[in-house]
Chain A
Amino acid sequence: MWMGCIACAAIILGVLALVLWYLISIGRQSVNLAFFAQDPQPYGADGYPGGMRNALVGTAILVGLASAVGVPVGILGGVYLSEYRTRAWLTETVRFTADVLAGVPSIVVGILGYELLVVPLGHFNGWAGALALAFIMIPIVTRTTEEMLHLIPGSYREASIALGATKARTIVRVVLPAATGGLITGVMLALARVAGETAPLLFTALGSRLLTFDPRYPFPSLTKQIYDYATGPYAEQKQQAWAGILILIVLIFSFNLLVRLFTRPRQFRA
């Protein structure tokens, strides 16, 4: 029996090792300083193929914009579900909706972003992409926040109320600080998820080969650029796509490792 279990564990590890080894061996060649420092150059121009700096910056900005909307809404929603719960029907509906939205295919969210922000503005833009990513973030952050707040013992809340604090003060001064580690976990999981999303950006932000900081126009992102390079005709760009994938995997990996760091059992914090 245990031979079978060890064999399965070995298979899991083996698959992961295989993927990583494959990625590293192929993508390694193109990961150099130019990859991070230069923007893409078109075929035939000198400096071709250039790098993917614009895509890295683009993803960072999109994820940042999405967090600016998604994190506050998600955390406040989680606080409502856990602490306030004023109406039973509202609470149940919100919880159910969050669960459903968390599983919605991301391309559907992309269509929503298209209808909301691309059609009125008349052209693809970065805001729509950020909005679609925010829609993906919100249910994840909400549910994680709610679960983490449920873990805070009720005795803290009781003690605070008995000392004459209002409910809002109790939440802000006692409950949320005590749950900080858990909240950060939720946020990082959501960040790791949206950093690797492509479908919602396909027809919202569209993608661009230029380094730009203006979300009013088509906006680059790492995942879209990898897709474009991988399906394009140019060999060097295909090579760069592999490098991009490797960088993406490393990024997601490090996010998850950071999450582990935050959730390890901790000694008391002052």
Chain B
Amino acid sequence: MPELGNPRAQQYPPVMKELPMPDEPENVESERAHAAPSLPGHNGAAPQSRPAPAFSGYPSPLATAPPRREPSLTAQPEIHPELNSEPHVLVLSQFCLYYGKHKALHEISMPIAAQKVTALVGPSGCGKSTLLRSINRLNDLIEHVRTEGRIMFRDENVYGSNTDVIGLRKRLGMVFQKSNPFPMSVFENVIYARRIADERSKARLHQVCERSLRSAALWDEVKDRLHSSALGLSGGQQQRLCIARAIAAEPEVLLMDEPCSALDPIATAKVEDLIHELRGRYTVVIVTHNMQQAARVSDFTAFMYLGRLVEYGPTGSIFQNPRLKQTEDYITGRFG
């Protein structure tokens, strides 16, 4: 399969940013020292209604686990230190978003690791899709939206006053929840981004089309019907077509907004395999309300609640050893 490496990724040196870390580590230490080694609140029995994820995801009632802290709405987000040692491609600093008077995102500060898959999880309405759409400024299309704070993509501010938003969107590809292929042929759909770039050479267009469809694991299924309408494909194929279309634009980051929520399990499995394959070449940020999916697919997981970032760290830590009780409650299905 031809490598679809992203040439731009090598041009930028990895940016290491030190985050303003809240002074939690001392608190955790003091709690560990003072608290009795009591078991966390639940009895360790996973709720029967949810199947267990691939690894033993549910917090284990180890006596050495630090007791979970109670949530407080104004507390700083709990960001695990492993994130600091990763090169970052996106850094959000104190990012707020208002829909009119309603504040939807509260001072979100988080880095996104390069060439890794980051999952945003949380109950409905917590702002994960809003955050994702803010990254490529798709919220500009909505009236009465106001933002504060910064989102740094590599070394430019996404919300700067003279940012080239159009160029930015070419580097931040997006896949939507409900697949939305254009009412054109499969071929035209995939090479749409190239057409916008005024690419004329037919050979080059065909090459891009084949490469993108192979990357999206769709080539074998559509290679005989490239010029028939994209609306004739099945739901899973349409979503993979949308992924191929996003990839054909050669972005650096792929933003996926619940890409599998409208798909059946088999199509979901195919898309998840695809995300695995894309991992080293693209940075993927995926919003999902499916906990098992986040556990299967992502390297880092961020848990959001009511527009705030609550906890953010490597997926293994979040699922096996969440630091906040709120995170644990959500993961084990107590709420949301």
Q: Which residues of A contact B (CB under 8 A)?
A: 153, 155-166, 169, 173-174, 177-178, 268-270
Contacts and interface: CB of A to CB of B under 8 A. Distances in A.
B169 A164 contact: yes
The 8 nearest A-B residue pairs measured at CB: A164-B170, A268-B229, A155-B180, A162-B174, A268-B231, A164-B169, A270-B185, A159-B180
Given A164-B166, A174-B182, A270-B227, A158 B196 contact: no
Contacts of A153: 180
Contacts of B181: 159
B173 A163 contact: yes
Contacts of B141: 157-158, 161
9 contacts: A153-B180, A158-B141, A159-B176, A159-B182, A162-B174, A163-B196, A166-B166, A178-B182, A269-B183
B323 interface: no
A162 B173 contact: yes
B245 interface: yes
Contacts of B163: none
Contacts of B63: none
A270 B184 contact: yes
Determine the main DSSP class of A at the interface with B. helix
Interface in B159-212: 166-170, 173-174, 176, 178, 180-185, 188, 192-193, 195-196
Contact of A163 (B169, B178, B183, B185): B169
B159 to A, nearest CB: 17
Contacts of B192: 160, 163, 165, 173
B97 interface: no
B71 interface: no
Contacts of B185: 270
A177 to B, nearest CB: 8
A269 B185 CA distance: 8
A199 B297 CA distance: 71
Contacts of B183: 156, 177-178, 268-269
Interface of B: 136, 138, 141, 166-170, 173-174, 176, 178, 180-185, 188, 192-193, 195-196, 227-229, 231-232, 242, 245-246, 249
B178 A155 contact: yes
Given A165-B196, A173-B196, 11 more contacts: A158-B141, A159-B182, A159-B242, A162-B173, A163-B170, A163-B192, A163-B249, A173-B195, A174-B182, A177-B184, A268-B183
Contact of B169 (A155, A161, A174): A161
Contacts of B245: 159, 163
A156 B169 contact: no
A270 B231 CA distance: 9
Nearest to B249: A163
Contacts of A165: 166, 192, 196
B193 A158 contact: no
B282 to A, nearest CB: 15
A164 B165 CA distance: 8
Contact of B176 (A155, A169, A270): A155
Given A160-B192, A164-B169, A268 B176 contact: no
The interface centre, meaning the residue of A162, A165, A178, A268 with most chain B CB atoms within 10 A of its CB, is A162
Contacts of A178: 182-183
A173 B246 CA distance: 17
A153 B188 CA distance: 19
B238 to A, nearest CB: 11
Contacts of B195: 173
Contacts of A177: 183-184
A155 B138 CA distance: 12
Nearest to B181: A159
A98 B228 CA distance: 39
A158 B166 CA distance: 13
A270 B196 contact: no
Nearest to A162: B174
